[in-house]
Amino acid sequence: MLYGVKILRTIGVGEPARYCYEELILRVKADSFEEAYRKAENYARGYGEPYRNPMGETVRTIRMEAVDCFLAFAPEGDVEEVYSATTANHGNISEEAYQNALTSYCDQRELYSLRNAEYNEEDE
């Protein structure tokens, strides 16, 4: 069977750490939810080794957690659902602020700080 598994990863960059958050959504072949979680977590552990970015800062995984798993539906024509989640705003923030938090992505500068120096040269 096919499952969708969502993993949330907290990434620390430099000292004091600046934080970025990554959502990994994986399609996993497994015989059960438990096996899907285990396979996804084992895959994601490969993201855990600290490295240096082009500015010489250490980039490391602070936290990684499989937060959701669902049985993927069979494809319908040209479309296959890989992942689906429904959220609710249970905090004391406006709906606009909540939606902005869900859709706020890293800018180019922030993404550059996540690059591995071993594979990227610093722009001059």
Provide the terminal-to-terminal Cα distance of the chain, rounded to the nearest Å.
Answer: 49
Q: Please give the residue that has the higher pLDDT: either 80 or 4.
A: 4
Per-residue pLDDT averaged across 5-32, rounded? 91
- Rg of the chain on CA atoms, in Å: 17
Most confident of 31-35, 40-44, 95-99, 118-122: 31-35
Is 14 within 8 Å of 109 (Cβ atoms)? no
pLDDT band of residue 105 (cuts 50, 70, 90) is: confident
Going by their DSSP bridges, the two strands 51-52 and 2-13 should be labelled as unpaired
Residue 53 has pLDDT above 90, yes or no: yes
pLDDT score for 102: 81
pTM: 0.72
Which is nearest to 114 in space by CA: 65, 64, 58? 58
pLDDT score for 124: 45
List CB contacts of 84: < 8 A, sequence separation 6 or more: 4, 70
pLDDT, the chain, mean: 86
Domain extents in the chain: 2-73+84-112
pLDDT score for 49: 86
Classified as helix, coil or strand, 69 is: strand
Find the helix or strand (DSSP H, E) in which 21 lies: strand 18-29
Distance of CA 65 to the CA centre of its chain: 9
Distance from C-alpha of 73 to C-alpha of 95, rounded to nearest angstrom = 30
pLDDT score for 80: 73
Q: Other C-beta atoms within 10 Å of 118: how many?
A: 9
